[in-house]
Structure 1
Amino acid sequence: MRTAIPAAMAGIAGAALSFAAAAQELSADAITQAISAVNTEAIIANKEATRNWPTHGLDYEETRHSKLDGINTENVSKLALAWSAGLDSRRGVEATPIVVDGVMYVTASWSIVHAFNAVTGEKLWEYDPEVPKDYAYKGCCDVINRGVAVYEGKVFVASYDGFLHAIDAATGAQAWKIDTIENREMSYTITGAPRVYKGKVMIGNAGAEYGVRGYITAYDATSGEQQWRWYSVPGDPSKPFEDDSMKAAAETWDPAGKWWEAGGGGTMWDSMAFDPELDLMYVGTGNGSPWNRNLRSPAGGDNLYLASVVALNPDTGEYVCHHQETPGDNWDYTSTQHIILADLEIEGEARKVWLHAPKNGFFYVVDRTNCDFISAEKFVEVNWATGYDEEGRPIEVDGARSRTEPWETIPSAYGAHNWHPMSFNPQTGLVYIPAQGVPLVQQHNPDWQLNTHVPGAAMSNLGWNLGYLFNTVAPTATPFGHLLAWDPVNQKEVWRANYVSPWNGGTLTTAGGLVFQGTADGRFVAYDAKSGEMLWQTPVGSGVVAAPSTWEKDGVQYVTVAVGWGGVYGQMQRATEKTGPGRVYTFMLDGKGEMPEMVEREPATLVAGVPYNPEDIGPGAALYVSSCLFCHGVPGVNNGGNIPNLGFSSADTLNNAAELLLTGAFVEGGMPTFEGKLTEDEVKKIVAFIQGTADAVRPK
């Protein structure tokens, strides 16, 4: 698990250097002292100057607005590398670096935690939670982790396989480990960063694509003892409900669909925020399981509490109130995207609100004291609803829930805004959103059966339960990605920066008048927060999906971003030929660090010469969709992300595909074995589809 870095630890084991006296060195005692001082009161106090970045969104309100202005619009052109360090990762890196008093904690893929001297980049220790590599296929969207929490001397990470780990902040030694998954027969994972409120570690889970019941749990930060658990959807109605909120929710589901067999979904896999004054926490809930409401609740219904933001009592987990953004979610319109708490003047009245830009394409302003709806407006093109009525319900268009015709869902299930964090600058009054569009057509699948492999049903051979067929007709929309500056009071766009691709990184905004964001095409960029003018950029060797953080040590401001292309879109496609492994970069004014060498991806050549029977292409296509599609993309059409596109395989690989797939040869890289899932004859058909598709696209 723990890997001590000998050169670092040998020098700090017994030292007692103070941070003020030796900014370049960190002793174990100093680290312990610094992280032991992080508690609820300290995180609240840090808001005044934000010299540290002690929690995922910088503050409990998750604003990602730093009050540091040492780096500003006048001097950002002098920003340069201070140091960089490898993260030993070739899969997605989605973590926001946590920095407290000169010590940095950041996670890479497989939930591995890295501790650095934040000023020098010296590696202090590494903690590997030892996630089994054959667990990878149980998650939809890469083997990623969005970061850690720190509190009273410990570092907390929730590993991909569903365990919550408490680690000694100074040594990297495990303090305790708790299994958060209540039903190991179902495909639960965890990808989100924990939060700690009032001595309790909060963590949800993921897995609604597969069929699970969502819940969030609070654990005592000292002992790991479970304090409370709240479910987002009701369980089997023949059994007693856990609380009144579940009893009320059950009235909004049709029991004819037996939703509890597929779990119902509603997983809380990312966003949380906390208001210490109101003593309320807020959590975003996910999509239904299966996605298709026509199957999980045939008579309709809102299906509470899917696709909602819910307010809970952080001490007890008791439900307080909610606003459901997509009633009866039918399109994988999760509300797990970043929640920001803000105080705004709206129509002359001071309002305590939450700000939210979920997958469904509408930007929401909701009163956080009582969950009353204030407004919702489109921040991208939307075709499933024309707007919201005064009660906060969407005005849906005809055909959006068709049981017969394909529907090009805009936004698609990839989201108008996905997990990539947005930020709010109270000086400009703007929210900075990583907005996007990825085309997709959904069609009701009348042949869906729970946990059943149906060729043609996406990823059903690996346990996905969606209830849809995809791209039965070609999408017509154009992919896009842009940074959007949004006025939440007037609900309108102020400026945008267009990118070459979707899936750009999270944002950071500062009192220096800046917005920072990494891009899919491998850059780290600074903009003027008011005008959107690009003021600075640098290459970073890979597409960026994570959000940056900024912090100060000994009067010097630094900006840090973790880099590593991935996530559900990044598994299949890319926007740069740079293929650098996961890396963390830290910048400062007039930095003297040397940029690492940028690694170019080897030129891709379509596979050729593998014999096949043309009659196998059609059946092979259906098997490919049910076994391979959402990891490897369309052969020779998608260009491959951090997982290879099989249309660019070698002939030897395809000729030996049966042996490779049915023996678990690639399990250590995260690919499942298909032993018992595919036969040699079915593998031969998949190879026919791959080679046949490569032959078809070659002339184009």
Structure 2
Amino acid sequence: MRNLLSGWGALGLAAMALAAGSLAAAPLQQGAGAQWVSPGGDAGKTHHSLLTGIDAANVGQLGFAWGMDLGTTRGQEATPVMVDGVLYTSGTAGRAYAFDAVTGAELWRFEPDVDMQVNRTVCCDMVNRGVAVARGKVFVATLDGWLYALDAKTGAVVWKGDFIEDRKRGDNSTGAPEVAGDVVVIGMSGAEYDVRGYVTALDLETGTLRWRWHVVPSDPRLGPQESPELEAALKTWDVNSRWDIGGGGSPWDAINYDPETGYVLVGTGNGGPYATSKRSPAGGDNLYLASIVALDPKTGRMKWHYQETPGDNWDFTATQPMILTRMMVDGEDRPVVLHAPKNGYLYVLDRRDGKLLRANPIVRTNWAKGIDANGGPILDPQAADYTTGPKIVFPATTGARNWHPASYDPATGLYIGAVLDMGNLIFMTDGAKPHKARGLNNDAALIFTPDVKEALATFPPAFGDAVRKTPAYAEALKNPASAQVRAIDPLTGRTVWAADTAGWQDRGGVLTTASGLTIYGGVTGKLFVRETKTGKLLKEIDTGTAIMAAPMTYAIKGVQYIAVMAGWGGGGYPFVPRYSAAYMRGNMSRLLVFKIGGGAVPMPDLLPPLEVAPEAPVQAGGVTAQTIARGQGLFFGNCAICHANQPRSITPDLRRMQPATHDAFRQIVREGLLVPNGMPRWDDILSVEDADAIHAYLIDLQGKTRTDELAKVNAGKPLDGPSLTILSNY
């Protein structure tokens, strides 16, 4: 056998310690061995493997070993975990699975009963980013905010814990839990809605609440803050802030337990509403938005913090995955955290005290001119303050980096991950906005730079002229977007090599190995293997299913396997790009496993050709142009974030409703007829008249779509060519 288990001795102890729930006694390793004990592989979540059984010499023989259809068409973002020969993973809305890691035999499946009303507050699909395994239990969080401890052998529920503070607000959950000693820590989502962000620690054995740490202060008129650090944070907020909306800050990902310091590191979310001037009119840094905070897992008290985007104005979350490792910095071997959040910078911080060691831009960043001597950004209001008028801001709210995990290869010192260099036009929407319970409260509109030029033709001339005068307009036209997998020197920000992806929506997680391989998927359905040092393409496998999640690898009895979750989804999930495998073959979400000597991947069937939209029904009596315009506004305010109304969308194309759907429209929207399918009811927000106005708009849109598509057929043009455009905020 070749050097398959290189470095496994010490790492095996760390893996067994994690499985036993006693990781604090183990040293931090730089890579996973035969087992892959957390979604990030090792305690530092480096997404790096010490295995060398698959290398440049034999990767040409990599093929399909086994797979599993997950029975859903929603997005898959989890990285599986392998402990003691069992492959554990999570899926849509918090489902969990256990498979024999060699044969693929299903050992158990957990399908929780999820309150689908939570879908009203989920911006970015019913995804889940993984499980934690410790003390014979598998921990998984559901979309509606329940944490389950499952028996690792049987999948039976050991306990169920509620970690949502206020179920009348927009709180939900898409992240992976993190075991930290005798607690399991979980974040929550929903900053665009009406939440006050927090992380919660539950007892590992019982599921009872141990502590909760809030990101944002509470309304000071309601009494003292929950902790001294929140009292300090209050000084960075206007006393007249929009406390009714909650402030945002939800830590929906990026929770790492550091066994060397004993701290839990948490990346926090964006502010709500987006604009600082609306959220905290007098300004301020608005601690602890868009920050990394270090917490004591025993008490929940804060040890240190570093705010990456003070007074966040642009949805620049700090929730992107962190990597804990060691590096030589300025001649000293330091314990560091590597972090590339949405805001376009790659940060290197000391894990002991949060001291900033390096911060380098990796994309265009016109919101800031650089980082000052105190470690804070040098803001550029002229370029990026959209509260005084529309601005094109780089990077976009999609982020230079997002949830897609990067990898750190200690042998080369390279940080390798998906990077998006794109901006967006951002502008305020008119009028004062009252608190919208469990509804979007972001109060800003966004158009990504690839769409800006076309979109301006639909706006009043004065608005278009204002946009064209913005400092970044010429740059937006010159280079609207660039999406790549990049290998970056984290100390300098220099890109060592870059590989283009199929488009700006094509981003995926990364795995590296000690044999010098970089492995990642694409939404085209391809799995790519490159040489880590140079980026040279060594192998690609067409799977027929879009891949966004990070691959992982493990070894059993001398055989190394690579596994990856496949399925299109996440932010903007209804808008399926044409280059995606989901556009051509549908979105049959799957778990795919590969090994040397494997065969061809079973391919999903191609979708049938598109058909012309059905004839629209006659409008009800009394429908006017004003009714349709009102319905359009209600649609974009409540429905468009999920319904793209485009061919091949993951959600129903409402321009193609059949007569039975039209007949049941009120029952679907207001009475929950399709709640089992994930469509929530809206009778607490939308009146009968509101639902009818939305329906009138969709009938009008369906009629226009049919006319447009019939004209294309007569002209011999494809139905999915450029047509009626629907713009939605992100």
**TM-score, length-normalised on structure 1?**
0.88
Contact 2:525–2:547 (8 Å) recurs in 1:
yes
Alpha-carbon displacement from aligned partner over 1:73-122 (angstroms, at most 9, x marks no partner):
22111111111111111111111101012101111102110110010000
Rounded Cα–Cα distance in structure 1 between residues aligned with 2:28 and 2:366: 44
Alpha-carbon offset, residue 415 of structure 1: 1.4
Alignment-derived partner of residue 371 in structure 2:
388
SS of equivalent to 1:260: coil
Question: Between the two proteins, what is the percent identity of the paired residues?
Answer: 39
Judging changes above 3 Å, is the alpha-carbon distance between structure 1 residues 470 and 620 closer, same or farther for their aligned structure 2 residues? farther
Contact 2:27–2:260 (8 Å) recurs in 1:
no
SS of equivalent to 2:452: coil
Alpha-carbon offset, residue 213 of structure 1: 1.0
Whether 2:596 is the aligned partner of 1:596: answer no
Q: Which amino acid aligns with 1:347?
A: D
Whether 2:490 is the aligned partner of 1:488: answer yes
Alpha-carbon displacement from aligned partner over 1:386-420 (angstroms, at most 9, x marks no partner):
22112121122214223241222322222111111
Contact 1:204–1:270 (8 Å) recurs in 2:
yes
SS of equivalent to 1:475: helix
Q: Which amino acid aligns with 1:466?
A: N
* 236, 247, 254: which one aligns with 1:252: 236
Rounded Cα–Cα distance in structure 1 between residues aligned with 2:629 and 2:434: 24
Whether 2:441 is the aligned partner of 1:465: answer yes
Q: Which amino acid aligns with 2:490?
A: P
Contact 1:81–1:588 (8 Å) recurs in 2:
yes
Stretch deviating more after TM superposition (338-347 or 357-366): 338-347
Contact 1:249–1:304 (8 Å) recurs in 2:
yes
- CA RMSD, Structure 1 to Structure 2 (Å): 2.5
* 573, 586, 590: which one aligns with 1:583: 590
Judging changes above 3 Å, is the alpha-carbon distance between structure 1 residues 541 and 472 closer, same or farther for their aligned structure 2 residues? closer
Alignment-derived partner of residue 319 in structure 1:
302
Judging changes above 3 Å, is the alpha-carbon distance between structure 1 residues 466 and 652 closer, same or farther for their aligned structure 2 residues? same
Alignment-derived partner of residue 468 in structure 2:
none
Rounded Cα–Cα distance in structure 2 between residues aligned with 1:371 and 1:433: 23
Alignment-derived partner of residue 87 in structure 2:
104
Whether 2:701 is the aligned partner of 1:685: answer no
SS of equivalent to 1:432: strand
Contact 1:439–1:475 (8 Å) recurs in 2:
no
Alpha-carbon offset, residue 54 of structure 1: 0.8
Whether 2:512 is the aligned partner of 1:509: answer yes
Contact 1:135–1:670 (8 Å) recurs in 2:
no
Q: Which amino acid aligns with 1:291?
A: Y
Rounded Cα–Cα distance in structure 1 between residues aligned with 2:703 and 2:343: 36
Alignment-derived partner of residue 154 in structure 1:
137
Alignment-derived partner of residue 683 in structure 2:
675
Rounded Cα–Cα distance in structure 2 between residues aligned with 1:38 and 1:561: 25
Q: Which amino acid aligns with 2:489?
A: D
Stretch deviating more after TM superposition (150-159 or 435-444): 435-444
Rounded Cα–Cα distance in structure 1 between residues aligned with 2:491 and 2:610: 48
Rounded Cα–Cα distance in structure 1 between residues aligned with 2:182 and 2:696: 55
Alpha-carbon offset, residue 138 of structure 1: 2.3
Unmatched tracts of structure 1, length 5 or more: 1-32, 453-459
Alpha-carbon displacement from aligned partner over 1:215-252 (angstroms, at most 9, x marks no partner):
11222211222222211111121311111110110000
Judging changes above 3 Å, is the alpha-carbon distance between structure 1 residues 485 and 667 closer, same or farther for their aligned structure 2 residues? same
Rounded Cα–Cα distance in structure 2 between residues aligned with 1:43 and 1:640: 48
Alignment-derived partner of residue 498 in structure 1:
500
Rounded Cα–Cα distance in structure 1 between residues aligned with 2:424 and 2:162: 36
Contact 2:56–2:515 (8 Å) recurs in 1:
yes
Stretch deviating more after TM superposition (639-648 or 521-530): 639-648
Alignment-derived partner of residue 291 in structure 1:
274
Contact 1:522–1:540 (8 Å) recurs in 2:
yes
Alpha-carbon displacement from aligned partner over 1:292-325 (angstroms, at most 9, x marks no partner):
2111101110000000011112222111111111
Judging changes above 3 Å, is the alpha-carbon distance between structure 1 residues 645 and 410 closer, same or farther for their aligned structure 2 residues? farther
SS of equivalent to 2:588: coil
Alpha-carbon offset, residue 186 of structure 1: 0.9
Judging changes above 3 Å, is the alpha-carbon distance between structure 1 residues 150 and 347 closer, same or farther for their aligned structure 2 residues? same
Rounded Cα–Cα distance in structure 1 between residues aligned with 2:27 and 2:68: 30
Judging changes above 3 Å, is the alpha-carbon distance between structure 1 residues 645 and 394 closer, same or farther for their aligned structure 2 residues? farther
Whether 2:610 is the aligned partner of 1:621: answer no
Alpha-carbon displacement from aligned partner over 1:253-278 (angstroms, at most 9, x marks no partner):
00122x32211111111102232222
Contact 1:551–1:558 (8 Å) recurs in 2:
yes
Judging changes above 3 Å, is the alpha-carbon distance between structure 1 residues 43 and 423 closer, same or farther for their aligned structure 2 residues? farther
SS of equivalent to 2:642: helix
Q: Which amino acid aligns with 1:672?
A: P
Rounded Cα–Cα distance in structure 2 between residues aligned with 1:179 and 1:157: 12
Whether 2:615 is the aligned partner of 1:609: answer yes
Rounded Cα–Cα distance in structure 2 between residues aligned with 1:320 and 1:188: 26
Contact 2:244–2:435 (8 Å) recurs in 1:
no
Alpha-carbon offset, residue 479 of structure 1: 4.3
Alpha-carbon offset, residue 150 of structure 1: 0.5
Alpha-carbon displacement from aligned partner over 1:37-86 (angstroms, at most 9, x marks no partner):
46426975876761101112111211111100101122111111111111
Rounded Cα–Cα distance in structure 2 between residues aligned with 1:516 and 1:647: 39
Whether 2:212 is the aligned partner of 1:229: answer yes
Contact 2:31–2:49 (8 Å) recurs in 1:
no
Judging changes above 3 Å, is the alpha-carbon distance between structure 1 residues 694 and 436 closer, same or farther for their aligned structure 2 residues? farther
Stretch deviating more after TM superposition (555-564 or 234-243): 234-243
Judging changes above 3 Å, is the alpha-carbon distance between structure 1 residues 205 and 691 closer, same or farther for their aligned structure 2 residues? same
Judging changes above 3 Å, is the alpha-carbon distance between structure 1 residues 617 and 439 closer, same or farther for their aligned structure 2 residues? farther
Alignment-derived partner of residue 549 in structure 2:
546
Q: Which amino acid aligns with 1:145?
A: N
Alpha-carbon offset, residue 603 of structure 1: 2.8
Rounded Cα–Cα distance in structure 2 between residues aligned with 1:42 and 1:374: 27
Rounded Cα–Cα distance in structure 1 between residues aligned with 2:642 and 2:432: 21
Alignment-derived partner of residue 397 in structure 2:
413
Contact 1:608–1:694 (8 Å) recurs in 2:
no
Rounded Cα–Cα distance in structure 1 between residues aligned with 2:636 and 2:433: 16
Q: Which amino acid aligns with 1:674?
A: W
Rounded Cα–Cα distance in structure 2 between residues aligned with 1:570 and 1:641: 8
SS of equivalent to 1:496: strand
SS of equivalent to 1:661: helix
* 295, 308, 312: which one aligns with 1:329: 312
Q: Which amino acid aligns with 1:263?
A: G
Rounded Cα–Cα distance in structure 2 between residues aligned with 1:482 and 1:161: 34
Alignment-derived partner of residue 424 in structure 2:
440
Alignment-derived partner of residue 79 in structure 1:
62
Judging changes above 3 Å, is the alpha-carbon distance between structure 1 residues 49 and 608 closer, same or farther for their aligned structure 2 residues? closer
SS of equivalent to 1:632: coil
SS of equivalent to 2:256: strand
Alignment-derived partner of residue 411 in structure 2:
427
Contact 1:541–1:579 (8 Å) recurs in 2:
no
Alignment-derived partner of residue 192 in structure 1:
175
Whether 2:378 is the aligned partner of 1:401: answer no
Alignment-derived partner of residue 60 in structure 1:
43
Alpha-carbon displacement from aligned partner over 1:106-150 (angstroms, at most 9, x marks no partner):
111021101100100000011112112333222111111111100
Stretch deviating more after TM superposition (499-508 or 171-180): 499-508
Alignment-derived partner of residue 7 in structure 2:
none
Rounded Cα–Cα distance in structure 2 between residues aligned with 1:224 and 1:336: 24
SS of equivalent to 1:442: strand
